[in-house]
Protein backbone atom coordinates (compact mmCIF):
# COMPACT_ATOMS: atom_id res chain seq x y z
CA UNK A 1 0.00 0.00 0.00
CA UNK A 2 1.32 3.48 -0.85
CA UNK A 3 2.51 5.54 2.08
CA UNK A 4 -0.03 8.10 3.19
CA UNK A 5 0.50 11.81 3.76
CA UNK A 6 -0.89 11.33 7.25
CA UNK A 7 -1.97 8.37 9.29
CA UNK A 8 -5.37 8.76 10.79
CA UNK A 9 -5.37 5.44 12.62
CA UNK A 10 -6.33 5.40 16.27
CA UNK A 11 -2.72 4.52 17.22
CA UNK A 12 -1.77 8.04 16.19
CA UNK A 13 -4.27 9.65 18.52
CA UNK A 14 -2.56 11.55 21.28
CA UNK A 15 0.88 11.52 19.65
CA UNK A 16 2.41 14.97 19.12
CA UNK A 17 2.09 16.08 15.50
CA UNK A 18 5.28 16.89 13.58
CA UNK A 19 4.99 18.53 10.17
CA UNK A 20 7.66 17.16 7.81
CA UNK A 21 8.83 19.67 5.22
CA UNK A 22 11.26 18.71 2.51
CA UNK A 23 11.38 15.88 3.51
CA UNK A 24 14.92 15.55 4.93
CA UNK A 25 17.10 12.96 3.23
CA UNK A 26 17.26 11.02 6.48
CA UNK A 27 13.48 10.91 6.98
CA UNK A 28 13.12 7.38 5.61
CA UNK A 29 15.52 6.17 8.33
CA UNK A 30 14.19 8.45 11.04
CA UNK A 31 10.52 7.68 10.52
CA UNK A 32 10.57 3.99 11.54
CA UNK A 33 12.58 4.86 14.67
CA UNK A 34 10.19 7.54 15.89
CA UNK A 35 6.77 6.83 14.40
CA UNK A 36 5.56 5.34 17.70
CA UNK A 37 6.39 8.65 19.39
CA UNK A 38 5.27 11.24 16.85
CA UNK A 39 2.50 11.60 14.34
CA UNK A 40 4.38 12.69 11.22
CA UNK A 41 2.37 14.78 8.75
CA UNK A 42 3.80 14.45 5.25
CA UNK A 43 2.52 17.06 2.80
CA UNK A 44 5.09 15.90 0.20
CA UNK A 45 2.97 12.77 -0.27
CA UNK A 46 -0.17 14.77 -0.92
CA UNK A 47 -1.25 16.61 -4.05
CA UNK A 48 -2.46 19.55 -2.00
CA UNK A 49 -0.64 22.83 -1.47
CA UNK A 50 0.78 23.20 2.03
CA UNK A 51 -1.98 25.65 2.89
CA UNK A 52 -4.74 23.24 1.84
CA UNK A 53 -2.99 20.30 3.45
CA UNK A 54 -2.85 22.18 6.73
CA UNK A 55 -6.51 23.15 6.56
CA UNK A 56 -7.28 19.44 6.95
CA UNK A 57 -4.82 18.95 9.79
CA UNK A 58 -5.86 21.59 12.25
CA UNK A 59 -2.77 23.83 12.33
CA UNK A 60 -3.35 24.86 16.00
CA UNK A 61 -2.45 21.29 16.96
CA UNK A 62 0.96 21.37 15.24
CA UNK A 63 3.82 22.46 17.52
CA UNK A 64 6.83 21.16 15.61
CA UNK A 65 8.36 21.08 12.13
CA UNK A 66 11.05 18.71 10.90
CA UNK A 67 12.63 20.12 7.77
CA UNK A 68 15.42 19.63 5.27
CA UNK A 69 17.86 22.36 4.18
CA UNK A 70 16.26 22.62 0.76
CA UNK A 71 12.85 23.67 2.08
CA UNK A 72 12.53 27.43 2.60
CA UNK A 73 10.78 28.03 5.88
CA UNK A 74 9.67 31.59 5.21
CA UNK A 75 7.57 33.91 7.35
CA UNK A 76 4.58 32.91 5.14
CA UNK A 77 5.06 29.23 5.96
CA UNK A 78 5.41 30.05 9.66
CA UNK A 79 2.22 32.12 9.53
CA UNK A 80 0.28 28.96 8.57
CA UNK A 81 1.24 27.43 11.92
CA UNK A 82 0.00 29.59 14.80
CA UNK A 83 1.02 27.11 17.52
CA UNK A 84 4.49 26.32 16.19
CA UNK A 85 7.10 26.22 18.98
CA UNK A 86 9.92 24.12 17.53
CA UNK A 87 11.66 23.90 14.16
CA UNK A 88 14.13 21.05 13.72
CA UNK A 89 16.36 21.20 10.66
CA UNK A 90 18.55 18.24 9.82
CA UNK A 91 21.29 20.54 8.45
CA UNK A 92 24.09 22.57 9.99
CA UNK A 93 23.12 25.54 7.82
CA UNK A 94 20.02 27.54 8.73
CA UNK A 95 19.95 29.95 5.79
CA UNK A 96 16.69 28.36 4.58
CA UNK A 97 14.87 29.49 7.73
CA UNK A 98 13.58 32.95 8.59
CA UNK A 99 15.38 33.00 11.94
CA UNK A 100 14.29 36.55 12.79
CA UNK A 101 10.65 35.56 12.43
CA UNK A 102 11.29 32.49 14.61
CA UNK A 103 12.77 34.73 17.27
CA UNK A 104 9.87 37.16 17.03
CA UNK A 105 7.40 34.31 17.37
CA UNK A 106 9.31 32.54 20.17
CA UNK A 107 9.90 29.45 18.00
CA UNK A 108 12.97 27.47 19.04
CA UNK A 109 15.24 26.15 16.27
CA UNK A 110 17.62 23.20 16.35
CA UNK A 111 20.21 22.18 13.76
CA UNK A 112 22.54 19.26 13.17
CA UNK A 113 24.99 20.97 15.53
CA UNK A 114 28.50 19.51 15.37
CA UNK A 115 27.73 16.11 13.89
CA UNK A 116 28.82 16.92 10.34
CA UNK A 117 31.93 19.00 11.05
CA UNK A 118 34.48 16.23 10.53
CA UNK A 119 32.87 14.88 7.36
CA UNK A 120 32.55 18.35 5.85
CA UNK A 121 36.17 19.18 6.73
CA UNK A 122 37.33 15.86 5.22
CA UNK A 123 35.50 16.76 2.01
CA UNK A 124 37.00 20.28 1.94
CA UNK A 125 40.49 18.79 2.06
CA UNK A 126 39.54 16.11 -0.48
CA UNK A 127 38.26 18.72 -2.95
CA UNK A 128 41.41 20.76 -2.43
CA UNK A 129 43.80 17.86 -3.03
CA UNK A 130 41.71 16.56 -5.91
CA UNK A 131 41.61 19.98 -7.58
CA UNK A 132 45.23 20.94 -7.06
CA UNK A 133 46.69 17.52 -7.92
CA UNK A 134 44.08 16.96 -10.68
CA UNK A 135 43.01 13.55 -9.41
CA UNK A 136 39.53 13.44 -10.97
CA UNK A 137 40.90 15.03 -14.13
CA UNK A 138 43.69 12.40 -14.26
CA UNK A 139 41.16 9.62 -13.80
CA UNK A 140 39.04 10.93 -16.70
CA UNK A 141 42.14 11.46 -18.83
CA UNK A 142 43.55 7.98 -18.24
CA UNK A 143 40.26 6.24 -18.97
CA UNK A 144 40.06 7.84 -22.39
CA UNK A 145 43.71 8.42 -23.37
CA UNK A 146 45.01 4.99 -22.44
CA UNK A 147 42.95 3.54 -25.25
CA UNK A 148 44.88 5.75 -27.68
CA UNK A 149 48.29 4.97 -26.11
CA UNK A 150 48.80 8.67 -25.33
CA UNK A 151 52.17 9.14 -23.57
CA UNK A 152 51.51 9.73 -19.86
CA UNK A 153 53.85 12.73 -19.61
CA UNK A 154 51.31 14.68 -21.67
CA UNK A 155 48.96 14.85 -18.68
CA UNK A 156 49.22 18.45 -17.36
CA UNK A 157 51.07 19.13 -14.12
CA UNK A 158 49.15 19.77 -10.91
CA UNK A 159 50.11 22.17 -8.11
CA UNK A 160 51.78 21.35 -4.82
CA UNK A 161 49.59 21.61 -1.72
CA UNK A 162 52.29 21.21 0.94
CA UNK A 163 53.45 24.55 2.24
CA UNK A 164 50.61 26.55 0.62
CA UNK A 165 49.14 29.61 2.33
CA UNK A 166 45.53 28.63 3.03
CA UNK A 167 42.95 31.23 4.04
CA UNK A 168 39.91 29.94 5.88
CA UNK A 169 36.80 32.07 5.64
CA UNK A 170 34.82 31.34 8.81
CA UNK A 171 36.88 29.75 11.57
CA UNK A 172 34.03 28.01 13.38
CA UNK A 173 33.75 24.30 14.09
CA UNK A 174 34.22 23.25 10.46
CA UNK A 175 36.90 25.85 9.74
CA UNK A 176 38.90 24.62 12.74
CA UNK A 177 38.61 21.02 11.55
CA UNK A 178 39.88 22.08 8.11
CA UNK A 179 42.84 23.91 9.70
CA UNK A 180 43.62 20.88 11.87
CA UNK A 181 43.74 18.65 8.77
CA UNK A 182 45.84 21.02 6.65
CA UNK A 183 48.51 21.83 9.25
CA UNK A 184 50.17 18.39 8.93
CA UNK A 185 50.49 19.09 5.18
CA UNK A 186 52.70 22.02 6.12
CA UNK A 187 50.05 24.50 4.99
CA UNK A 188 50.25 27.95 6.55
CA UNK A 189 46.82 28.85 7.87
CA UNK A 190 45.29 32.29 8.24
CA UNK A 191 41.64 33.29 8.45
CA UNK A 192 38.86 35.81 8.23
CA UNK A 193 35.89 35.54 10.58
CA UNK A 194 33.21 37.77 12.05
CA UNK A 195 35.61 38.39 14.96
CA UNK A 196 39.27 37.74 15.68
CA UNK A 197 39.58 34.64 17.87
CA UNK A 198 41.51 34.85 21.11
CA UNK A 199 41.90 31.07 21.20
CA UNK A 200 44.01 30.59 18.05
CA UNK A 201 47.33 32.01 16.91
CA UNK A 202 46.62 31.88 13.15
CA UNK A 203 46.93 35.35 11.54
CA UNK A 204 43.55 37.10 11.25
CA UNK A 205 42.64 39.33 8.31
CA UNK A 206 39.73 41.70 8.87
CA UNK A 207 38.61 41.52 5.24
CA UNK A 208 38.38 38.66 2.76
CA UNK A 209 40.27 40.74 0.15
CA UNK A 210 43.24 41.02 2.52
CA UNK A 211 43.04 37.30 3.26
CA UNK A 212 42.94 36.48 -0.45
CA UNK A 213 45.87 38.81 -1.17
CA UNK A 214 47.98 36.86 1.31
CA UNK A 215 46.89 33.32 0.34
CA UNK A 216 46.99 30.89 -2.56
CA UNK A 217 43.93 28.95 -1.43
CA UNK A 218 40.61 30.01 0.10
CA UNK A 219 38.37 27.51 1.89
CA UNK A 220 34.86 28.79 2.54
CA UNK A 221 33.46 27.47 5.80
CA UNK A 222 31.21 30.29 6.98
CA UNK A 223 27.42 30.40 7.10
CA UNK A 224 25.37 32.19 4.46
CA UNK A 225 23.56 35.27 5.74
CA UNK A 226 23.03 38.91 4.71
CA UNK A 227 26.64 39.76 5.61
CA UNK A 228 28.27 36.83 3.82
CA UNK A 229 26.23 36.69 0.60
CA UNK A 230 28.70 37.03 -2.31
CA UNK A 231 31.54 37.53 0.15
CA UNK A 232 33.68 36.07 -2.64
CA UNK A 233 33.27 38.58 -5.45
CA UNK A 234 35.45 39.48 -8.44
CA UNK A 235 37.68 41.74 -6.34
CA UNK A 236 38.44 38.85 -3.94
CA UNK A 237 39.12 36.45 -6.81
CA UNK A 238 41.49 38.91 -8.50
CA UNK A 239 43.25 39.38 -5.15
CA UNK A 240 43.64 35.59 -4.84
CA UNK A 241 45.31 35.56 -8.24
CA UNK A 242 45.90 33.35 -11.22
CA UNK A 243 47.19 30.26 -9.42
CA UNK A 244 44.57 30.62 -6.67
CA UNK A 245 42.19 27.82 -5.73
CA UNK A 246 38.81 28.16 -4.00
CA UNK A 247 37.02 25.42 -2.08
CA UNK A 248 33.40 25.96 -1.14
CA UNK A 249 31.76 23.56 1.30
CA UNK A 250 29.59 26.30 2.88
CA UNK A 251 26.74 27.55 0.69
CA UNK A 252 26.67 28.43 -3.00
CA UNK A 253 25.53 31.99 -2.26
CA UNK A 254 28.86 32.79 -0.58
CA UNK A 255 30.35 33.17 -4.07
CA UNK A 256 29.14 35.40 -6.86
CA UNK A 257 28.81 32.36 -9.13
CA UNK A 258 28.61 34.27 -12.43
CA UNK A 259 31.88 36.01 -11.58
CA UNK A 260 33.43 32.72 -10.49
CA UNK A 261 32.63 31.17 -13.86
CA UNK A 262 34.05 34.26 -15.61
CA UNK A 263 37.23 34.31 -13.52
CA UNK A 264 37.77 30.59 -14.16
CA UNK A 265 37.20 31.01 -17.90
CA UNK A 266 39.51 34.02 -18.10
CA UNK A 267 42.21 32.26 -16.05
CA UNK A 268 41.99 34.90 -13.31
CA UNK A 269 42.00 32.09 -10.72
CA UNK A 270 43.50 28.64 -11.05
CA UNK A 271 40.63 26.36 -10.07
CA UNK A 272 37.84 25.48 -7.66
CA UNK A 273 36.43 22.59 -5.65
CA UNK A 274 32.70 23.09 -5.22
CA UNK A 275 30.27 21.08 -3.14
CA UNK A 276 27.60 23.80 -3.20
CA UNK A 277 26.05 26.04 -5.85
CA UNK A 278 24.09 29.25 -5.89
CA UNK A 279 20.86 27.85 -7.36
CA UNK A 280 20.89 24.17 -6.46
CA UNK A 281 20.34 21.79 -8.06
CA UNK A 282 21.38 23.92 -11.03
CA UNK A 283 25.10 23.86 -11.81
CA UNK A 284 26.41 26.37 -14.35
CA UNK A 285 26.95 24.40 -17.57
CA UNK A 286 30.37 25.99 -18.17
CA UNK A 287 31.77 24.30 -15.06
CA UNK A 288 31.19 20.86 -16.57
CA UNK A 289 33.63 21.72 -19.33
CA UNK A 290 36.48 22.73 -17.00
CA UNK A 291 39.21 20.35 -15.97
CA UNK A 292 40.44 22.67 -13.22
CA UNK A 293 37.14 22.37 -11.34
CA UNK A 294 36.02 19.51 -9.09
CA UNK A 295 32.28 19.23 -8.49
CA UNK A 296 30.23 17.46 -5.84
CA UNK A 297 26.43 17.39 -5.39
CA UNK A 298 26.18 19.05 -1.94
CA UNK A 299 27.33 15.79 -0.39
CA UNK A 300 30.08 16.93 1.98
CA UNK A 301 28.09 16.32 5.14
CA UNK A 302 26.62 12.98 4.30
CA UNK A 303 28.36 9.73 5.13
CA UNK A 304 26.77 6.50 6.29
CA UNK A 305 27.87 7.38 9.81
CA UNK A 306 26.72 11.00 9.87
CA UNK A 307 23.40 10.00 8.34
CA UNK A 308 22.57 7.87 11.38
CA UNK A 309 23.80 10.60 13.74
CA UNK A 310 21.54 13.02 11.93
CA UNK A 311 18.51 10.84 12.69
CA UNK A 312 19.46 10.59 16.35
CA UNK A 313 20.02 14.31 16.78
CA UNK A 314 16.84 15.35 14.95
CA UNK A 315 14.72 12.72 16.75
CA UNK A 316 16.44 13.53 20.04
CA UNK A 317 15.59 17.21 19.68
CA UNK A 318 11.92 16.36 19.06
CA UNK A 319 11.89 14.03 22.06
CA UNK A 320 13.58 16.60 24.30
CA UNK A 321 11.12 19.30 23.27
CA UNK A 322 7.99 17.21 23.85
CA UNK A 323 9.27 16.04 27.23
CA UNK A 324 10.32 19.52 28.34
CA UNK A 325 14.01 18.66 28.45
CA UNK A 326 16.86 20.87 27.17
CA UNK A 327 17.27 20.72 23.39
CA UNK A 328 20.36 18.88 22.13
CA UNK A 329 21.51 21.36 19.50
CA UNK A 330 19.69 24.69 19.79
CA UNK A 331 20.47 27.48 17.34
CA UNK A 332 21.16 30.97 18.72
CA UNK A 333 18.62 33.21 17.01
CA UNK A 334 19.69 36.63 15.67
CA UNK A 335 18.61 39.84 17.44
How far is residue 43's CA from residue 65's CA, in Å, rounded to a whole number? 12
Residues 286-325 that bind ligand O=CC(=O)O (CB under 6 A): 301
* Residue 93 sits in the site that holds ligand O=CC(=O)O (CB under 6 A): yes
Binding span for ligand O=CC(=O)O by CB under 6 A among 6-14, 54-62, 86-94, 198-206: 86-94
Range in contact with ligand O=CC(=O)O (rule: CB under 6 A) among 24-32, 57-65, 89-97, 238-246? 89-97
Distance CA 320, CA 315 (A): 9
The full length of the chain comes to 335
Among candidate residues 105, 298, 312, 319, the one labeled active-site is 298
For the segment 110-169, give every residue that binds ligand O=CC(=O)O (CB under 6 A).
Answer: 112, 116
CB of 291 to ligand O=CC(=O)O, least distance (A): 26
Please tell me whether residue 277 binds ligand O=CC(=O)O under the rule CB under 6 A. no
Please tell me whether residue 87 adopts helix, strand or coil conformation: strand
Interface pick for ligand O=CC(=O)O out of 92, 102, 224, 272 (rule CB under 6 A): 92
The question of whether 312 is a catalytic residue gets the answer: no
Q: Does 175 bind ligand O=CC(=O)O (CB under 6 A)?
A: no
Which is nearer to ligand O=CC(=O)O, 92 or 127 (by Cβ)?
92
Give the integer Cα–Cα distance in Å for 115 and 77. 27
Q: Which runs of E-coded beta strand occur in the chain?
A: 17-21, 39-41, 62-67, 86-89, 108-110, 165-169, 188-192, 217-220, 245-248, 271-274, 293-295
The pair phi, psi for residue 21, each rounded to 5°, is: -115, 125
Please say whether the dihedral angle defined by the alpha carbons of residues 184, 190, 191 and 197, taken in this order, is positive or negative: positive
In the complex, least distance from residue 24 CB atom to ligand O=CC(=O)O, rounded to whole angstroms: 10
How many residues of this chain interact with ligand O=CC(=O)O, rule: CB under 6 A?
7
* Residue 220, number of CB atoms within 10 A of its CB: 29
**Cα–Cα distance for residue pair 84/40, rounded to 1 Å:** 15
Catalytic residue among 39, 96, 177, 251: 251
Of 22, 24, 59, 69, the one binding ligand O=CC(=O)O (CB under 6 A) is: 69
Of the residues 26, 68, 91, 117, which one makes contact with ligand O=CC(=O)O according to CB under 6 A:
91
Is 298 an active-site residue?
yes
Q: How far is the CB of 176 from ligand O=CC(=O)O (least distance, A)?
A: 17
What minimum distance in Å lies between the beta carbon of 276 and ligand O=CC(=O)O? 7
- Where helices occur in 153-233 by DSSP H, the ranges are 173-182, 208-213
Q: Nearest to residue 329, comparing CAs of 85, 77, 112, 83?
A: 112
Task: Measure the CA–CA gap between 99 and 112, rounded to whole angstroms.
Answer: 16
Q: Which residues are identified as catalytic?
A: 251, 280, 298
Binding site for ligand O=CC(=O)O (CB under 6 A): 69, 91-93, 112, 116, 301
Amino acid sequence: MAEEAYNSSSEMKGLPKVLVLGPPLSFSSLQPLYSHKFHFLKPHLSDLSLQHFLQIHHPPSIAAILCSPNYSVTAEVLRLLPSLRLLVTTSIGTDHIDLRECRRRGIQVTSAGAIFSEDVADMAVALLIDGMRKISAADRWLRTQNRHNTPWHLFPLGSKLSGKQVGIVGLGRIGMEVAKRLEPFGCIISYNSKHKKTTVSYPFYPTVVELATNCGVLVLCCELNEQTKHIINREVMLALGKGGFIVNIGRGGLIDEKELVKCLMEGEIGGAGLDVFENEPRVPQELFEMNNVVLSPHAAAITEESFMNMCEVAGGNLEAFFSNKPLISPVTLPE
